[in-house]
């Protein structure tokens, strides 16, 4: 007889009693059988399911419902008279009109409960699958770069073993957490939509797989010790390996016109600064000279087409320990020096690396970054177009006529900046902060993140749109016609609950889910 068959017969033998108590007792004996080394002997020692049911009834003093009813009717077989001479009222349905109305009115609150429990599910799954993904990624990295630098390959292999062992050890605890979270959601649903009904509890988990625990622990210990040992050795031999990579550091003079210039690097940071000697030049650090191309045919083009994924083991954005130190020491760096007042158009683009411009004046300034930080300080441009796919953006003490700043994932921070025309700021995921700025007209859109504006002045119609996050607007002056709306949250203007003010400068603020606070100073 299998454990499930034994359990089913035991449940059938106890079907006449309270199902909540029966489920608790049956779960206890099921776990007792499953945890035994020899399940058959354990079932024989307990007796048949019917014998065990009789024992359970006697030990707990359970009485069948029909026996209780017969006892309450007395010796003559008639039920006791109703109280106050009236028959008992019929049992009310769980779905009364009052309950339905209450559920509708409290929907935002109990749906929030479901959201929290869904978040619990996501966190548990994310932690576990992150370990599994890290193990798989480390294996891929180890084999992908085996021809590049064997010590790093060995280290990544041990890291993969370490994460694999952790994944194996976490399987049963994560499974138990999933079961607990699922039971919590079920109990919550029964409480809301099926009051009075008892949820049948699931049987206990299978016994611990000792072999899986031993294998997981062995992989974890082996991977951890191997990674630590490899890290120690890699630190000692890293400099010798870097010297064999033929990386160069040199300065290149730029003889062509610099009024229309573009610089592009697939990998590496780019810094643009004013020249102190009035000459245009390019300082290159940690680069392969053969990948650097400079063209000048009416427009100067500087390109560095070094393909990181084909030619180098690791990215400067990822890694740890000696791997990260290696990436820092081998990451290309470009510093472009331009004569002041001789650049009308400049385009700076980087696929993987930071971009920084300081003290640069241009008519058109175009910046594109796929993954990295962008920083502008003390720059002037009639037209700024900044687009960043992944990374933070900082603009400080700059002056523009028109400006457009777009970031798909990362924060945007503007401070001490002036825009005489239209300033457009868009962020798909990240916070937007504006401090001590002066704008004629500004349009700020944030799909997910907070918008914080402090000590700032607008002189023309402006608008703020936030789908998920709060808006805190601190304005200099009082002549603003505020129109603030939010679908979910509070609206306060100068500390009072109001949604609009009168003035000559229209400012529209709209939040889909978040509070709005506006203060005049």
pLDDT in tens, 442-473: 999 999 999 999 999 999 999 999 999 999 99
Q: Per-residue pLDDT for 491 more than 90?
A: yes
Average pLDDT over residues 39-57: 84
pLDDT of residue 154: 86
Average pLDDT over residues 203-208: 63
The more confident residue out of 333 and 192 is: 333
Q: What percent of the chain has pLDDT over 90?
A: 43
pLDDT per position as a tens digit, 267-308: 889 999 999 888 899 999 989 888 899 988 778 999 998 765
Q: Which of 118-127, 128-137, 229-238 has the lowest mean pLDDT?
A: 229-238
Q: Which of 55-69, 223-237, 475-489 has the lowest mean pLDDT?
A: 55-69
* Per-residue model confidence (pLDDT) at position 314: 42
- Exposure string over 429-463, b if 16+ CB within 10 A, otherwise e: ebbbbbbebbbbbbbbbbbebbbbbbebebeeebe
pTM of this prediction? 0.63
| Residue 77: predicted pLDDT | 47
The winner for highest mean pLDDT among 102-106, 154-158, 351-355, 374-378 is 374-378
**Closest alpha carbon to 516 in 451, 461, 462, 458:** 451
User: Would you state the pLDDT for residue 385?
Assistant: 97
With beta carbons less than 8 A apart as the criterion, state whether 280 and 338 touch.
yes
DSSP 3-state of 339: coil
pLDDT at 84: 47
* Confidence grade of residue 76 (pLDDT, cut at 50, 70, 90): very low
Q: What is the pLDDT of residues 401-450, one digit of tens each?
A: 999 999 999 999 999 999 999 999 999 999 999 999 999 999 999 999 99
Least confident of 23-32, 167-176, 250-259: 23-32
Q: Residue 196 has what pLDDT?
A: 58
Q: Is pLDDT of 316 > 80?
A: no
- Mean per-residue pLDDT over the chain, rounded: 84
More confident residue, 244 or 453: 453
* pLDDT surpasses 70 at 95: no
Alpha helix segments (H runs only) across 244-375: 308-311, 321-330
Report d(CA 355, CA 349) in Å as an integer. Answer: 8
H helix and E strand count, the chain: 11, 25
Tell me what pLDDT residue 292 has: 92
- Window from 144-148, 176-180, 365-369 with minimum mean pLDDT: 144-148
Sort residue 408 into left (φ over 0), alpha (ψ -120 to 50) or beta. alpha
Q: Where are the domains of the chain?
A: 1-80, 110-244, 249-373, 392-521
309 pLDDT more than 80: no
Q: Grade residue 234 by pLDDT with cuts at 50, 70 and 90.
A: confident
Q: What is the dihedral of CA 348, 351, 357, 361, to 10 degrees?
A: 10
Which secondary-structure segment (H or E) carries 485? strand 480-486
Average pLDDT rounded to a whole number, residues 203-223: 83
| Amino acid 202: pLDDT | 56
Task: Give alpha helix (H) positions in 145-200.
Answer: 150-193
**For residues 220 and 181, which has the higher predicted lDDT (pLDDT)?**
220
Q: What pLDDT score was predicted for residue 54? A: 84
Q: Specify the higher pLDDT residue, 53 or 250.
A: 250
């Amino acid at each position: 007889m299998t454990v499930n068959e034994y359990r089913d017969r035991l449940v059938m033998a106890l079907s006449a009693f309270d199902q909540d108590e029966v489920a608790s007792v049956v779960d206890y004996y099921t776990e007792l059988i499953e945890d035994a080394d020899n399940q058959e002997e354990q079932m024989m020692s307990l007796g048949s399911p019917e014998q065990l049911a009789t024992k359970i009834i006697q030990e707990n003093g359970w009485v069948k419902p029909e026996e209780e009813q017969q006892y309450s009717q007395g010796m003559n077989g008639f039920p006791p008279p109703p109280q106050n001479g009236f028959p008992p009222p019929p049992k009310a349905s769980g779905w009364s009109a009052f309950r339905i109305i209450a559920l509708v009115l409290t929907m935002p609150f109990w749906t929030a409960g479901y959201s929290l429990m869904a978040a619990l599910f996501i966190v548990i799954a994310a932690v576990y699958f992150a370990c599994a993904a890290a193990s798989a990624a480390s294996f891929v990295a180890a084999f992908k770069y085996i021809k590049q630098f064997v010590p790093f390959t060995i280290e990544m292999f041990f890291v993969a073993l370490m994460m694999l062992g952790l994944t194996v050890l976490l399987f049963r605890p994560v499974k138990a957490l999933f079961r607990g979270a699922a039971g919590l959601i079920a109990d919550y649903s029964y409480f809301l939509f099926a009051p009075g009904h008892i949820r049948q509890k699931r049987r206990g988990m299978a016994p611990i797989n000792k072999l899986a625990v031993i294998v997981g622990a062995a992989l974890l210990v082996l991977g951890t010790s191997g990674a630590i040992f490899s890290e120690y050795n890699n630190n000692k031999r890293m400099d010798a390996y870097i010297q064999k990579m033929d990386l160069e550091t040199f300065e290149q003079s730029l003889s062509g016109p610099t009024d229309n210039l573009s610089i592009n690097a697939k990998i590496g940071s780019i810094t643009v600064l004013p020249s102190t000697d009035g000459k245009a030049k390019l300082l290159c650090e940690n680069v392969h000279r053969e990948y650097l191309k400079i063209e000048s045919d009416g427009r100067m083009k500087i390109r560095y087409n070094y393909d990181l994924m084909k030619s180098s083991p690791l990215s400067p954005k990822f890694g740890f320990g000696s791997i990260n130190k290696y990436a820092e020491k081998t990451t290309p760096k470009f510093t472009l020096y331009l004569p002041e007042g001789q650049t009308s158009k400049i385009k700076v683009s980087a696929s993987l690396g930071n971009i920084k411009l300081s003290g640069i004046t241009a008519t058109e300034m175009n910046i594109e970054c796929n993954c990295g930080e962008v920083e502008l300080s003390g720059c002037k441009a009639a037209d700024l177009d900044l687009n960043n796919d992944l990374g933070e953006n900082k603009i400080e003490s700059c002056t523009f006529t028109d400006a457009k700043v777009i970031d798909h994932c990362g924060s945007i921070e503007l401070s001490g900046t002036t825009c005489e025309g239209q300033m457009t700021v868009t962020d798909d995921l990240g916070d937007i902060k504006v401090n001590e700025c002066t704008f004629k007209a500004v349009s700020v859109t944030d799909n997910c993140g907070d918008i914080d504006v402090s000590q700032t002045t607008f002189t023309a119609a402006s608008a703020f749109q936030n789908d998920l996050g709060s808006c805190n607007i601190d304005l200099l002056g009082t002549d603003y016609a505020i129109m603030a709306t939010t679908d979910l949250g509070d609206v306060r203007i100068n500390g009072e609950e109001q949604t609009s003010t009168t003035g000559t400068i229209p400012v529209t603020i709209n939040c889909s889910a978040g509070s709005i606070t506006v203060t005049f100073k």
